[in-house]
Chain A
Amino acid sequence: MKLIACVNHVPDTATKVNVASDGKSIDRTGVNFIINPYDEFAVEECLRQKEKNGGEIIAVSLGTDVHKETLRKCLAMGVDKAVLLKDDGARDTFGVAKALAEYLREQAADVIFFGKQSVDGDDAAVGPMVAELLGIPSVTVVVKVAIAGTKVTAEREIEGGHEIVETSLPCVITAQKGLNDPRYPSLKGIMGAKNKPIEERPASPDASRSTVAAMRKPKAKAGGKIVGTDASAAQELVRLLHEEAKVI
């Protein structure tokens, strides 16, 4: 079974985001970058499927050389091969999907895993876009997946419940928290990953269909009101919510 995990390199969720001087992108100064948290579930699922069904796992990322850090983490976790599609532009989701799809088309994988969204742009779009470009099914926000022969049964999270989706290989699956518990790379894995080659290829030209006109910080909230310091403030809080805020 050929498995591919598409991974992104993003600012740590614990970091503050500031707008750069161009007013269209984030200031990267002092920002710590990590593997996109949802992509860890994607990589882990590849490892588990390989343990069950055998095969090969490729991790692929689109971006500059700094993405190699995330690809090394994937190698340390146990993927067989890492590929960097080199690109230094600011693409939109379609631009990213198009470049990934061109690489993925020639790979003809059985399952392509993504995180359900990248925590930078929050679009949750690249996975299904790639599937559409390749003409294969996609199941998003998946918390459980079973593959039997070419039949795929996946459970996806929806508002207030779960949907069971049936589809077939080859397909794209986007991983939600809960799909698995990603392993920590072993020391041996980390050491081994240092010497493994990362294949580099130029990404296909940018095909983006949207532009960011401006980026800003959201309006800061004006300081609130401290209603009280113990249970006796409860009555007043409820009154304020009812009469002033009118939300209950």
Chain B
Amino acid sequence: MKILVVAEQRDGKVKKAGWEAVRAGRTLADATRGEVIALVIGNAIKEAAAGAGNYGAHRALAVEHPRLSAYSTTAYTKIVAEAAKQSGATVVLIPATSQGKDYAPRVAVRLEAGLAADCTSLSVDNGTIVATRPIYAGKAVTDVRITSPMQVFTLRPNVFTAGEPSATAATVDVFNVTLSEEDFRSVVTDVKQSSGKLDVAEADIIVSGGRGLKGPEHFVMIEELAEVLGAAVGASRAVVDAGWRPHDEQVGQTGKTVSPSLYIAVAISGAIQHLAGMSSSKYIVAINKDKDAPIFQVADYGIVGDAFEVVPAVTAAAKQLLGK
């Protein structure tokens, strides 16, 4: 099968989730004697596109346009759909980032394709792709088969592995798409980055705090541990609803579903809806004074103790280890 993979870039650099998708495409291609074509969209991104070869792409397409230095749902929909049609790809892989999730459903409609969203694994069975995707924020898992000739999959970041880059650069062809004013009906006019803040959806390590911290002022200790570990700060629904933390930090069924390498839950009891959002993390640490808290059932390592004493000690020990 011929597989088109969108390697999402920001500021001219392909994101990790983009390389993960390229590598996943290569695995599918190897299982079906197919071809992987990476697609990079933006302005002045040809060099970034060549990097797709390092992660297994057979070749790359670059779509460049001055107006594409900003994201546009409508323009991206057209470009990805056109690239799939003209390259003869029948499978399209898109990272399930905030951007990918925004335009992938529209691409699926335009290609008359079925969509399997936020997949955590792809395999080939008798020549067709079986996508595994969690539902109910991970309380259950489904195997999905797309029945249409064209197929679109979005891949959850941080789950597929990009692997070590090889030295093979991909040949980059410029792909021309005619973009009219109509194709820029919705445009991003400004991006407000939370200063230096790492997002829970992208972080490799997350330190989360819950209601057991007793007040917003005690999150300082969570922030300190997060800083030492290079981690993002997360929060339970209870503390977000109480207004202690912004909702973009909320982990759980009505917040973000995360799968970092390490998730440290501090003073979080582990309500079902919270566990659903984080139990696919590779390693989980629970720090809670209630030994019966449900969070210990999913934790790999636990400390049954007072967070106010344990967390600063963990921060100090980590500082020492990491030489900070």
Measured CB to CB, the residues of A under 8 A from B are 11, 13-17, 19, 24, 26, 37-38, 92-94, 97, 119-129, 131-133, 137-141, 155-168, 171, 176-178, 208-218, 221, 223-235, 237-242, 245, 247-248
For the complex formed, measure the closest distance between the CB of B127 and the CB atoms of chain A, giving whole angstroms. Answer: 15
Q: Which residue of A lies closest to B116 (CB)?
A: A210
Contacting B310 at CB < 8 Å: which of A119, A177, A230? Answer: A230
How many Å lie between the Cα of A3 and that of B318 in the bound state? 53
Contacting B250 at CB < 8 Å: which of A138, A162, A177? Answer: A177
A-B interface pairs (CB < 8 A), number: 288
CB distance A160 to B145 under 8 Å?
no
CB distance B186 to A13 under 8 Å?
no
Q: Which chain A residues border B254 with CB–CB below 8 Å?
A: 13, 37-38, 119, 177
How many Å lie between the Cα of A163 and that of B102 in the bound state? 12
How many Å lie between the Cα of A51 and that of B145 in the bound state? 45
For the complex formed, measure the closest distance between the CB of B288 and the CB atoms of chain A, giving whole angstroms. Answer: 11
CB distance A139 to B186 under 8 Å?
yes
Dominant SS among interface residues on chain A: mixed
Provide the B58-84 mask, 1 if CB < 8 A to any CB of A, else 0: 000000000000010110010000000
List 12 other contacts, CB 8 Å, given A94-B115, A159-B199: A119-B136, A119-B254, A132-B77, A139-B73, A155-B192, A163-B188, A163-B191, A210-B145, A217-B141, A229-B305, A231-B312, A248-B205
Most chain A beta carbons < 10 A, residue from B104, B198, B296, B317: B317
CB distance B140 to A214 under 8 Å?
no
Provide the B181-200 mask, 1 if CB < 8 A to any CB of A, else 0: 00001111111111001110
Contacting A235 at CB < 8 Å: which of B135, B185, B317? Answer: B317
Q: Which chain B residues border A155 with CB–CB below 8 Å?
A: 192
Q: Which residue of B lies closest to A155 (CB)?
A: B192
CB distance A234 to B310 under 8 Å?
yes
A-B contact pairs, 19 of them (CB 8 A): A97-B105, A125-B104, A126-B105, A139-B73, A156-B98, A157-B98, A161-B192, A164-B188, A177-B250, A209-B115, A213-B143, A216-B141, A218-B280, A224-B286, A233-B310, A238-B314, A239-B321, A245-B262, A245-B283
How many Å lie between the Cα of A226 and that of B297 in the bound state? 11
Q: Which residue of A lies closest to B201 (CB)?
A: A159
Q: Which chain A residues border B221 with CB–CB below 8 Å?
A: none
Measured CB to CB, the residues of B under 8 A from A are 71, 73-74, 77, 97-99, 101-106, 108-110, 112-118, 130, 134-148, 185-194, 197-199, 201-202, 205, 229, 240, 246-248, 250, 252-255, 257, 261-262, 271-273, 276, 279-280, 282-286, 291, 296-306, 309-310, 312-314, 316-318, 321-322
CB distance B310 to A141 under 8 Å?
no
Q: Which chain A residues border B148 with CB–CB below 8 Å?
A: 209-210
CB distance A164 to B137 under 8 Å?
no
CB distance A160 to B140 under 8 Å?
no
For the complex formed, measure the closest distance between the CB of B1 and the CB atoms of chain A, giving whole angstroms. Answer: 17
Q: Which chain B residues border A129 with CB–CB below 8 Å?
A: 105-106, 108-109, 115
Q: Which chain A residues border B190 with CB–CB below 8 Å?
A: 163-164
Contacting B314 at CB < 8 Å: which of A14, A24, A160, A237? Answer: A237
How many Å lie between the Cα of A15 and that of B253 in the bound state? 11
For the complex formed, measure the closest distance between the CB of A134 and the CB atoms of chain B, giving whole angstroms. Answer: 10
CB distance B314 to A218 under 8 Å?
no
Q: Which chain A residues border B262 with CB–CB below 8 Å?
A: 241, 245, 247-248
Q: Which chain A residues border B109 with CB–CB below 8 Å?
A: 94, 97, 129, 132-133
CB distance A230 to B147 under 8 Å?
no
Contacting B185 at CB < 8 Å: which of A119, A123, A168? Answer: A168
For the complex formed, measure the closest distance between the CB of A219 and the CB atoms of chain B, giving whole angstroms. Answer: 9
For the complex formed, measure the closest distance between the CB of A58 and the CB atoms of chain B, giving whole angstroms. Answer: 22
How many Å lie between the Cα of A43 and that of B317 in the bound state? 49
CB distance B191 to A218 under 8 Å?
no
For the complex formed, measure the closest distance between the CB of B222 and the CB atoms of chain A, giving whole angstroms. Answer: 15
- The 6 closest A-B CB pairs, nearest first, are A209-B114, A234-B313, A167-B186, A231-B313, A125-B105, A160-B199
